[in-house]
Structure 1
Amino acid sequence: MLSWLPTDGLSEIDVSALLLGPGGRVRDDADLVFYNQPRHLSGAVRQDGPAVEVDLPGVEPEIERIVLAASLDAGTFGQVADLVLRLDTAADEAIAEFPITASTETALIGGELYRRGDGWRFRAVGQGYDAGLAALTTDFGVTIDEEPEPASVASARTGAAEDPTVGLPRPAPPRVPDLAEWPDHLAPLPFAPQLAPVDPQLEARKQRIADTLARNGAPGARARVVLVLDASGSMSLAYVDGVVGRIVERVAPIAAVLDIGVVRAWKFADTAQQLPDLHVDRVGDWIAGLDYHGVGLRNNEPAAIRAVLDHAATHGDPTLVLFFADGDVRRNLETSVLLRAASAKPVFWQFVGLGPADFTRYAKLDTMKIRLVDNCGFARLSNPDHISDGRFYDLLLAEFPRWLAAARAKGIVTG
């Protein structure tokens, strides 16, 4: 449910929901639930006033995400006071609240429900659109009718007294699922989403990532994203010259497509050090605080691998690890033993060699025998600044979908 304080000069805030299938798009226009189509054909999603009711057990199996949105016909969300997205139980008890701040946006995505395993989870999104509901919904495949809105409908929405359609029967009050129906891992983000103008480069990169995953057989795939950066002495120039920062800028959007836009990160040399989480909407600040100090001079790959495995064991979700290094594996036997054992874990390791070094050992990790599934990939980026975004994502994401399918077949990944 959305709540806000009434403001002069603003139209009524319309809430809506989009039911998305594989690939993050609606199947057809019937998957948009809004004021003029307030009940989904399945009966699982309904809109009434400022609330959207979702019957999670009744959602069709092919629906992977339900996007919760809002829009204005007049004014902007920056003019709305005390705008809050709230999750309630059927007894009107709040599960979580997410204050939203905005500026020039006339439509926004407040949050979304998404499948994870056998249950559902919620994440706050906070993405805004200056061009209204049409721009938001067309991003998800809805066809917008350009015909002018009939006066009777427009008046009904604004509640004009002279409109005879005002007072027509409305759907029954919403029933948000009981608290017991929500999965144990339902958890809000630890911050209120801040809306920002759409970044065209970010959106283009997200689309290329989605296209790459779909082309390789994993449309709509979901996974956590982990970044591991070599911070040994030989990498110092790559940090100083901004090469590492530009790689980070390209990696962050992968988490926006596969997960909630957050990358867990480590740097390593003799030891491994966990870095602050990398948020896709705050990449510049994260890069500004990144350096290669404090972890030694020589590579100790097993230290980084163990740190990531320990982290992955805390959640059990499928995880894509993007592991960048500018030299070959130094502790080869120990690394190979660890990765063979890790083939039974829901973790895929994409190793990336930077520069002209000999990466024979890293390449052999991709072809190791005696593994439950092939859980490693290798790609070389001789000069990452000289390849396109499309090629970058093709190299980093080509093998992950094959691992995901194999891991599901073996029961390593469920859901």
Structure 2
Amino acid sequence: MGITLDKVEKKAPELLSLAKTAASAIDTARLNGQRAKVALVLDYSGSMRKEYKSGAMQRLTETILALGVHLDDDGEIDLFTFDSSARHEGTVTLGNFRDVIAKIVAKRHMGTTNYAAAFRAVLDYFKLAPKSGGGFFRKSTGYSAVDARDGQPVLAVFLTDGSPDSKAEAVTEITRASYAPVFWQFLSIGAENIAFLQRLDDLEGRYVDNADYKPVRDVDRTKPEDLYEMVLDEYPGWLDDQRRRGHIR
């Protein structure tokens, strides 16, 4: 099970309200008892500079950590950033979350927007990259479906403010990722919807529908309960499908 609210109050009292809101959202989505690894995948391209400087990305990290407190056995989340490349920045916990974004900003430079690298980084880190298979999947796509490690899927919350460097590569990688037990919740910030994210949401030719897109506009003006509702909107249906296929417990 995840971390109790008593432990949140003791180790990170400033997150207690968020953790209670997340618990309510999980209950509404009927996900009580469903374990998952939670990944936060943040755009670190140059156009995101203002969002990091303002503290918006730190606050978003705290909001998603409050969700991970309940979904992850260890009550933590994995943080990834992507620009021209992508990497795992480490695990965010109740003990180290307070300055986690400041440490990232201090040690790396911003680049462009490589979605494909982000998709690969998450699959590689969790060792869920699909492999060439046999039978129908081998013939039609070159991939075979991968079962969740320890029966636990990954919920990847992916936030960006723009389209990728290579749309074709991103399409290839999200299609490949559909054979892994990872659900991608795409969120966008900025005044305009990102048409390419909607294209990925509706993409044909995937093993399963493994993504949803919601425009957030401004994360700091979005109520936590509304953000959790977005993140958990299509995820339960994907879980049901994965469970029917035998890829998760």
Distance 1:128 1:210, change over 3 A: closer
The question of 1:347 aligning with 2:161 is answered: no
Q: Which one of the candidate residues 95, 105, 116 is aligned to 1:291?
A: 105
Residues paired across the two proteins, number? 227
TM-score, normalised relative to structure 1: 0.51
Task: Decide which structure has greater strand share.
Answer: 1
The 2-side partners of 1:292 and 1:326 are apart by 21
Q: Report 1:300-379 matches (<5 A).
A: 300-313=114-127, 316=149, 317-379=152-214
Calculate the aligned-residue CA RMSD, in Å. 2.4
Match of 1:59 in 2: none
Maintained 8 Å contact 2:119/2:177: no
Q: Which amino acid aligns with 2:114?
A: N
Maintained 8 Å contact 1:326/1:354: yes
TM-score, normalised relative to structure 2: 0.82
Shift of 1:214: 2.8
The question of 1:242 aligning with 2:55 is answered: yes
Maintained 8 Å contact 2:58/2:100: no
Q: Which amino acid aligns with 1:311?
A: Y
Unaligned runs of 5+ in 1: 1-113, 115-122, 130-194
Q: Give the percent of matched residue pairs that are identical in Structure 1 and Structure 2.
A: 29
Q: Report 1:180-199 matches (<5 A).
A: 197=10, 199=12
The question of 1:269 aligning with 2:83 is answered: yes
Maintained 8 Å contact 1:213/1:398: no
Q: Which amino acid aligns with 2:101?
A: I
Shift of 1:310: 0.6
Which secondary structure state, in structure 2, belongs to the residue aligned with residue 320 of structure 1?
strand
Unaligned runs of 5+ in 2: 129-147
Compare 287-296 and 220-229 and name the one that shifted more: 287-296
The question of 1:404 aligning with 2:239 is answered: yes
Distance 1:342 1:126, change over 3 A: closer
Q: Report 1:7-406 matches (<5 A).
A: 114=1, 197=10, 199=12, 202-259=15-72, 260-291=74-105, 294=108, 296-313=110-127, 316=149, 317-406=152-241
Maintained 8 Å contact 2:5/2:20: no
Distance 1:126 1:392, change over 3 A: closer
Task: Decide which structure has greater helix share.
Answer: 2
Distance 1:341 1:126, change over 3 A: closer
Which secondary structure state, in structure 1, belongs to the residue aligned with residue 24 of structure 2?
helix
Shift of 1:200: 5.3
Q: Which amino acid aligns with 1:362?
A: L
The 2-side partners of 1:297 and 1:358 are apart by 22
**Which digits, 9 at most, give the CA deviation of each residue in 1:338-376, with x for residues without a partner?**
111221211111111011244001012111112222110
Shift of 1:395: 1.2
